[in-house]
Amino acid sequence: MRYGLIGATGRMGQEIKKAFEGHVLCLKVDTQETWSDETRPEVIVDFSHRSSLPDTIELCKKHGSALVIGTTGLNDEDFLMLKELARKVPVVQSYNFSFGVNALKIILASYSKLFEDWDLEIIEAHHNKKKDAPSGTAIMLQNAVGRPCPMHSLRIGGVPGDHSVIFANEGETLSFNHRAISRSVFAYGALKAAEFALTVNNGFYTFEEVLQCKLKK
């Protein structure tokens, strides 16, 4: 697979290069420079900042590349641009590319109606350099539950990502917890999403759909 990488020198960029070992990195973009070996990337991976999104989309259009995007803090206008791009190439978007979080999303969407009269709160913790709060993952989990709730954000140390979804009534509590031990889990998920993107038609996909495809095999 020939791939391009946006934010190549960042922490996630370094993890993605490790996960994609054996594949050909033919396009690198970071804040300092853009490098290309002049071959067409089949897929472009972007886990950088939302300010890079317009340039990323233009690169995908130029090369006809699929896009795997894990950038957080996207707004409605950003999603409109991504869905417009998805008419031309496959786009896989998620705020979290770990298998565990997306499995949790499926569980919550399937069973949260059992707890619709329970209290609900979400707690998330990330490293102290993460700027957006609440995290995109917390919002994604709230959407899976299907109702608004208080969300609490911690920005401490080097935590890759902790999320807790807590239901409670007067007599009991039920909590769902996910802890990312290493950023490598997100990079491995990005690799699986890139492989998926090369097998599907143009369109807008979530990482949950990558998992569902895996379940069908």
Task: Identify whether 126 is a catalytic site residue.
Answer: yes
pLDDT single digits (tens) 159-213: 999 999 999 999 999 999 999 999 899 999 999 999 999 999 999 999 999 988 7
Report which of 23, 38, 75 is spatially closest to residue 54, judged by C-alpha positions. Answer: 75
Q: Are residues 126 and 192 in the same domain?
A: no
Task: Identify whether 217 is a catalytic site residue.
Answer: no
Report pLDDT for 63.
96
Q: Above 70 in pLDDT, residue 67?
A: yes
Report pLDDT for 38.
85
Identified catalytic residue from 23, 61, 127, 130: 130
Instruction: Kindly state the average pLDDT of the residues 46-65.
Output: 95
Buried b / exposed e across 35-65, counting CB within 10 Å, b at 16+? eeeeeebbbbbbbbebebbeebbebbeebeb
Q: Above 90 in pLDDT, residue 132?
A: no
CATH number at residue 116: 3.30.360.10
Report pLDDT for 217.
64
Q: Are residues 80 and 115 in the same domain?
A: no
Q: Are residues 15 and 75 in the same domain?
A: yes
CATH number at residue 66: 3.40.50.720
Q: Are residues 121 and 164 in the same domain?
A: yes
- Global pTM reads 0.87
**Range of the structural domain that residue 64 is part of:** 2-96+184-216
Hey, what are 132's tokens? 């957006």
Identified catalytic residue from 126, 163, 178, 192: 126
Average model confidence (pLDDT) across the chain: 94
Report pLDDT for 177.
97
Count of domains forming the chain: 2
Q: Are residues 106 and 175 in the same domain?
A: yes
Q: Are residues 92 and 189 in the same domain?
A: yes
